[in-house]
Amino acid sequence: MVTLRCGDPAPEFALLDQSGSRVRLGDFRGRTLLVYFYPKADTPGCTTQSCAVRDARVDFSGLNLAVVGISVSAVRDQDAFDKKFGLGFPLLSDPDHAVAEAWGTWGEKSLYGKKYKGVIRSSFLVDEEGRIVDAWYKVSPKDTVPKALKALHH
């Protein structure tokens, strides 16, 4: 499994967002980008994480920061999730988990003793040139925003 570190180039992506538009990593050149991976749209932890990012818009303003969330959920599920919670930033659909694999966020998980493969909740800060500034694997839904803000202010 890949583990991205500070200074690594962020793996490219070109995925559909909740409105069906193709979004690419290169679309964010010249801006800092917070990329967070979550297992499934509209589940408790993913809702906590996504709403925290939404609510941090004020904290992120003036930092030239863009945000994208990525999960294996279908475009229609991402759209419903965005509309239900008024998230207002791109939610990208990675149904074949190829992007999650490239970023090191696809791996073995366990629930009630049963092992399975899935998205490992993680977040990344990518600089204006497309390089990893910081990476947080197995991040708590509540820690995505505080970790990003701490990194942005250092």
- Helix ranges, 10-142 (H): 44-55, 57-60, 75-85, 98-102
Strands in 65-71's sheet, in edge-to-edge order, are 22-24, 14-16, 91-93, 65-71, 32-37, 122-126, 132-137
Place of tokens 């049963």: 114
In this structure, is residue 147 part of a structural domain?
yes
pLDDT of residue 17: 98
> Within 10 A of 14 (CB to CB), how many other CB atoms are there?
12
In this structure, is residue 3 part of a structural domain?
no
In this structure, is residue 2 part of a structural domain?
no
The CATH number for 41's domain is: 3.40.30.10
In this structure, is residue 127 part of a structural domain?
yes
In this structure, is residue 108 part of a structural domain?
yes
Distance (Å) of CA 121 to CA 21, 27, 50, 58: 24, 23, 12, 24
Write out the residue range of the structural domain in which residue 129 sits: 14-152
Indicate the number of domains in the chain: 1
pLDDT of residue 82: 98
Query: For residue range 84-102, what is the model confidence (pLDDT) as tens digits?
Result: 999 999 999 999 999 999 9
Q: How confident is the model at residue 10 (pLDDT cuts 50, 70, 90)?
A: very high
When pLDDT is averaged across residues 97-117 and rounded to a whole number, the result is 93
Task: Quote the pTM value.
Answer: 0.95
Rounded CA-CA distance 10/142 in Å is 23
**Active-site residue, from 35, 46, 119, 133:** 46
In this structure, is residue 104 part of a structural domain?
yes
Rounded CA-CA distance 152/2 in Å is 24
Structural contact between residues 85 and 50, judged by C-beta atoms closer than 8 angstroms: yes
Q: How confident is the model at residue 56 (pLDDT cuts 50, 70, 90)?
A: very high
Query: For residue range 11-47, what is the model confidence (pLDDT) as tens digits?
Result: 999 999 999 999 999 999 999 999 999 999 999 999 9
Give catalytic status of residue 51 as yes or no. no
Distance (Å) of CA 122 to CA 38, 72, 105, 144: 7, 14, 7, 8
pLDDT of residue 111: 81
pLDDT above 80: residue 128: yes
In this structure, is residue 7 part of a structural domain?
no
Q: What is the pLDDT of the chain when averaged over all its residues?
A: 95
In this structure, is residue 6 part of a structural domain?
no
